[in-house]
Amino acid sequence: ETVLTQSPDTLSLSPGERATLSCRASQSVSSYLAWYQQKPGQAPRLLIYDASNRATGIPARFSGTGSGTDFTLTISSLEPEDFAVYYCQQRSNWLWTFGQGTKVEIK
């Protein structure tokens, strides 16, 4: 099983600042990595798929990079609605795993 480890667990930033979230896989997942945003009481929302592709309707301030075992989600300038929990997810064949999540909170 491929384990995804996200860092940091919590990121305390102010609106307008840049957020950089990391996701490391225990073995190569090629570019088969997705990122999700989840707000309290809501279902997750797909942000990025295949490491660097923005999903439909996702603002350009969200970007994803990486391949193999190291991936990054960057939010270029935090908006008030971006404070949430972010999860990375990988698929190995037909088995999916999620990272433990990074909470982006208001400083």
For the chain, the C-alpha Rg in angstroms (whole number) is 13
Interaction between residue 37 and other proteins (CB under 8 A): no
CA 49/CA 37 separation, integer angstroms: 12
Nearby residues of 61 by Cβ (< 8 Å), 6 or more positions away:
75, 76, 77, 79, 82
CB of 45 to other proteins, least distance (A): 8
Q: State the minimum distance, in angstroms, from the CB of residue 61 to other proteins.
A: 19
Contact residues for other proteins (CB under 8 A)? 1, 30-32, 34, 36, 38, 43-46, 49-50, 55-56, 87, 89, 91, 93-101
